[in-house]
A and B are shown apart, each in its own frame.
Chain A
Amino acid sequence: MTQRAMELSILRYRPEEDDKPWFQNYQVPCEEDWVVLDAINYVKDHLDSSLSYRWSCHMAVCGSCGMMINGDPALSCKTFIRDLRSGPVRIEPLANFPIERDLVVVMDDFMEKLQRVKPYMIRKTGKPLEEGEHLQSPAQLKKFKQYTLCINCACCYSACPQYALIPEFIGPAALALAHRYNQDSRDQGRDEREDVTASNEGVWDCSFAGACSDVCPKHVDPASAVQQMKIASTVDWFMRRLGLGGGKS
């Protein structure tokens, strides 16, 4: 297999030693079918054991290895060396998150926001297990399926100009997740979720730049989820004004 020498310029930050982040360069002999993560693993195994980053599945499904590659948020296990322009590859932690160390960012805010949108089945009427499954047609499934595909890699938060400006913004992945449950024919919790999703920190903070959908490695299209929620929340608001209730019953 042919090799290609690549220079990686990786952001380093070790809070116990470094006052501020800095870049360290590494020369890596890359195989032609390598992804960026393979090159970083090469650094870890052979050049510098102190480099820290998150990764696990190497198949773009665990969502651990999101990072900035040449300025764009991406999964390092799905970014191929062959697709990068020549010259040093700049690798940084996901933007808009505090750096914990090197390429590891603090995920607390993201995790808290996921939880806040109540991303679980809410039903006013329970169905006993003995009665078996809920029926759901393929068309009903299709209505929300796309929004179930989020791997929580947080690339969308790094790309989002609003999250950069307003840290309180619930943000693309969490809103798309709320929408996923709202659109599920088995769920009855939209009005409960609207307390968060239709608040100032919810969908109305979105400026519809669409950057989230551009960078999403799983094509979830959070921007479309947010737009659909804006419409739904407007309709609900008018319905409530007219005394007709609102939200899904």
Chain B
Amino acid sequence: MEIIKTDVAIIGAGGAGLRAAIAVAESAPDLNIALISKVYPMRSHTVAAEGGAAGVIKQGDTLEDHFNDTVAGGDWLCDQDAVDLFIRQAPVELTQLEHWGCPWSREKSGHVAVRPFGGMKNERTWFAADKSGFHILHTLFQTSLKYPSIKRYDEFYCTDLMVADGRCQGVSAIEMRTGLMQLFQTRSVIIAAGGAGWMFPFTTNGAIKTADGMAMAYRAGVPLKDMEFVQYHPTGLPGTGILLTEGCRGEGGILVNKDGYRYLQDYDLGPPDPWPRNKAMELGPRDRLSQAFWHEQKKGRTVASRWGDVVHLDLRHLGEKKINEKLPLVRDLAASYVGTDPVHELVPVRPVVHYMMGGIHTDIDAATPLPGLYAAGECACVSINGANRLGSNSLTELLVFGKRAGEHAAEHARSAAQPAESEIRREGEAARKRVTDLFLREEGGENITTLRKEMNETMESGAGIYRSEDSMRETCDKITELRERYSRVHLEDKSNVFNTNMLYTMEVGSMLEAAHAVAFSALNRKESRGSHQRLDYTARDDDKFLKHSLAYFQGEGEPRMDYLDVVITRSQPGQRVYGGKAK
């Protein structure tokens, strides 16, 4: 097995991974960086983010407002020290991207423009039309090409972390082009491998978002935090799950049911007028909007379409000029994938799995409890998003905490003790054996497509918008069963070169492990908070559950659950207030 020696290895080259790499290169130009990704950087799912990135920049807005919006939006499950750091660094990072060339949309004056976003009191979402994530990712990728110390390993699929002497000292990866396993021996590792939307049947996420990073850390003993909090975005296209940005509503779009009625006024988000109005109606938070859809569906007030039940997004009053200028991608996507031109027609939409609030447990420095291991971006839980993330906080998050992960990983790399080479090699051999065992396994009667579909179905029924004891228990048992059956999956394709049968199989393995953490974390949180809504425990219970869930890997068995106090600095838990009463 080839051993590649480096100082900092970064797993994932999306927004957080690239930002981390640049931070290492700038803060410690003498350190070697291995930027390892299962796809080329510009394929990473940051690319698909549309609406924008939040950061206070305009007169009349305040850091305190961004703090309060984020904490209340997260139903007080956010760590407030992390939120504080986040909102302060947000404008700095977004300005840095501007200096690197990000084509932010502009005001006539030449200043960067901002748009309203859900749950945000003031306009503070920087945007590049409705392709903000695309431009952020490409700006970061192109900027990263400047730094000679960043060595990329594109299309390398990381499988396991190497833990020796109680520290993370490396990672194993399969080079897709050759099928060879390589071992990266390193002083620090940063996981920036994205979310896990593909656990669910209907998601905005790209097919590469398969929980790999989360599962790797989890298997290495690092807890996954707050995994029960899964964000449903209220406006996905039916059929494909393609995202239509919250920017649609930020620009003035409305949601109506089958009677043409703006139903959100029935869910403590009204009154409907004046419109647009921040923190009200269609600019309420995502959890509340997706939950309102669920109720409308129960009441029979949604629209039956050939893709199932939908509501309608109405953009017609914005006019063609504004739609072309501010929402060109949305127009293209709606026309292409549901045959509807938003300039003239109502667009069918429904809630769709979008984002994992939970992830690898880190502190405010992006450090995990395992020395030498850092995490940032969607795969991590720091936690600024609490029980419900506000739209446009995640693009900023991957910049702020990506940078922080890079700087702290670089610092750690300088001070780390000598690598335990023989132990790392032993760990590497164990990682390789895990893959060769998969190749050698005989036909066992299980099929990877079937397992993935069964996982998708059970995650939707047990970890959907509303949950109950019975459905969650069933999902826990089903995931336990699927993990057992997974051990009987064999590879039909035994070749080495770009073997996607192997890749998909390992990805399903990662997802099943992370799904176990989601299901058990959900089952054990006996309250309703943010995106975790239970039909049997309908109220928030701060006495028992103003805490982060921590799920610990226990091999084939059920995860062990533990809890950690939320960091409260200056905002005591209160009511989330939107609509007419919102401040």
Contacts and interface: CB of A to CB of B under 8 A. Distances in A.
A58 B111 CA distance: 34
A141 B42 contact: no
Contacts of B455: none
B470 interface: no
21 contacts: A15-B497, A16-B497, A33-B338, A52-B499, A57-B206, A58-B242, A61-B47, A63-B42, A64-B43, A100-B497, A102-B498, A120-B100, A133-B95, A133-B99, A135-B110, A136-B110, A141-B103, A148-B135, A151-B42, A152-B40, A187-B101
B52 to A, nearest CB: 15
Interface stretch (B140-148, B220-228, B279-287, B517-525): B140-148
A19 to B, nearest CB: 15
B281 to A, nearest CB: 27
Interface of B: 39-40, 42-45, 47-48, 92, 95-96, 98-101, 103-112, 131, 134-135, 138, 142-143, 145-146, 154, 177, 206-208, 239-240, 242-243, 306, 329, 333, 336-339, 448-449, 492-493, 495-501, 504
Given A63-B47, A136-B110, 20 more contacts: A17-B495, A49-B492, A49-B504, A51-B500, A52-B500, A57-B48, A64-B39, A100-B177, A101-B497, A104-B498, A120-B145, A121-B143, A133-B95, A133-B99, A134-B99, A137-B106, A138-B106, A140-B110, A152-B40, A181-B101
Interface string A67-93: 000000000001010000000000000
Contact of B48 (A1, A59, A133, A149): A59
7 tightest Cβ-Cβ pairs between the two chains A and B: A135-B110, A56-B206, A50-B493, A101-B498, A57-B206, A121-B101, A119-B142
Contacts of B492: 49-50
B109 A135 contact: yes
A136 B493 contact: no
A26 interface: no
Contacts of B100: 120-121
B350 to A, nearest CB: 16
B145 A136 contact: no
A80 B154 CA distance: 30
B493 to A, nearest CB: 4
Contacts of B154: 107, 111
Nearest to A121: B101
Contacts of A54: 39, 43
Contacts of B306: 1
Contacts of A46: 449
Contacts, number: 152
Nearest to A37: B207
Nearest to B109: A135
A164 interface: no
B47 A138 contact: no
A238 B174 CA distance: 52
A133 B98 CA distance: 6
B330 to A, nearest CB: 11
Contacts of A138: 105-108
A58 B209 CA distance: 13
Contacts of A15: 497
A214 to B, nearest CB: 18
Contacts of B337: 33, 59
B110 A120 contact: no
Interface in A87-129: 100-102, 104, 107, 111, 114-115, 118-121, 127, 129
A63 B42 CA distance: 8
A58 B206 contact: yes
Contacts of A243: none
A184 interface: yes
A232 to B, nearest CB: 19
B501 A49 contact: yes
Contacts of B240: 58-59
B143 A16 contact: no
A157 interface: no
Nearest to A45: B449
A16 B495 contact: yes
A220 to B, nearest CB: 12
Contacts of A129: 92, 95-96, 99
A109 to B, nearest CB: 13
A230 interface: no
A239 interface: no
B96 A56 contact: no
A130 B295 CA distance: 48
B448 A49 contact: yes
B95 A120 contact: no
A120 B142 contact: yes
Nearest to B449: A45
B124 to A, nearest CB: 14
Contacts of B134: 61, 151
A55 interface: yes
A114 B145 contact: yes
B207 A58 contact: yes
A49 B493 contact: yes
B47 A62 contact: yes
Contact of B111 (A16, A17, A135): A135
Nearest to B325: A138
Contacts of A62: 42-45, 47-48, 206
A148 B138 contact: yes
Contacts of A14: 495, 497
Contacts of B135: 148
Interface centre among B47, B96, B108, B109 (most CB of A within 10 A): B47
Nearest to B97: A133
Nearest to A147: B103
Nearest to A185: B110
Contacts of A118: 145-146
A56 B45 contact: yes
A187 B103 CA distance: 12
B111 A184 contact: no
